[in-house]
Amino acid sequence: MLEFTTTTNPTELLQILELQQQNLPESLSEIDKKEQGFVTVRHDFELLKKMNEIHPHIIAKSNGIVVGYALSMSKIFRNDIPILIPMFDEIDTTSEGTKPYILMGQVCIDKHYRSKGVFRGLYAKMKEEFSGIYDSIITEIDKKNTRSVNAHKAIGFKTLKTYTSNNQDWEIVYLAI
């Protein structure tokens, strides 16, 4: 049975980092990256904890173990992850960037729990948590990560902007809440 909730303790943060590590490009085969997707940013415990103190991360748990997560990231962290700075700069040039938004900093689901509604459940919980506080959830996706691009569009995300940075093509997407 899956439970969608927010992070409440260091063990859950460590489980997020473990799941993240398993899904970084260097941990995956080319086939897995293409078919299953991947995560781009590597967080450390301290940053994940600081982000969580502002807005708890959204997690899916099965039998007490984190099997999926959607990181909640306030704009105040815009300079803490260098690869994300260009994204924030691009968001600033859009109409959505002038409104209150929460950044979904990364979404990842354990390979054994994919195609079981976890992705949709994480975003439903995120919308529930931030409705009335923010106007939208914004995230960016490496355009090579077609599984993620398609999954986001399937639940209603719309393209805000595309751009190139660090020799990668990015798609910034948003979901009104």
> What residue ranges do the domains of the chain occupy?
2-176
Query: What percent of the chain stands above pLDDT 90?
Result: 80
- Rounded to the nearest 5 percent, the helix, strand and coil shares of the chain are 40, 30, 25
Whole-number pLDDT of residue 66? 98
Query: Over the Cα atoms of the chain, what is R_g?
Result: 15
Closest by alpha carbon to 45, among 69, 24, 17?
A: 17
Record: fold of 2-176:
Aminopeptidase (3.40.630)
Whole-number pLDDT of residue 27? 82
Whole-number pLDDT of residue 70? 97
Computed over every residue of the chain, the mean pLDDT equals 93
2-14 average pLDDT score: 97
Please check the confidence at residue 53 and state whether its pLDDT lies above 90: yes
Question: Which residue blocks in the chain are alpha helix, DSSP H?
Answer: 10-22, 30-36, 45-54, 85-92, 118-130, 146-154
Global confidence as pTM: 0.91
State the number of CA atoms in the 13 A half-sphere of 70 facing the CB.
26
How far lies 35's CA from each of 4, 13, 116, 144, 147, in Å?
Answer: 25, 26, 16, 11, 7
Closest by alpha carbon to 75, among 85, 61, 63?
A: 85
Beta bridge partners of 69: 59, 108
Please check the confidence at residue 25 and state whether its pLDDT lies above 80: no
Whole-number pLDDT of residue 32? 80
Beta bridge partners of 176: 136
Closest by alpha carbon to 118, among 2, 39, 19?
A: 2
Answer whether 163's CB lies under 8 Å from 170's CB.
yes
Band of residue 24 on the pLDDT scale cut at 50, 70, 90: confident
Band of residue 113 on the pLDDT scale cut at 50, 70, 90: very high
56-80 average pLDDT score: 96
Whole-number pLDDT of residue 166? 85
Range in 39-43, 53-57, 131-135, 172-176 with the lowest mean pLDDT: 39-43
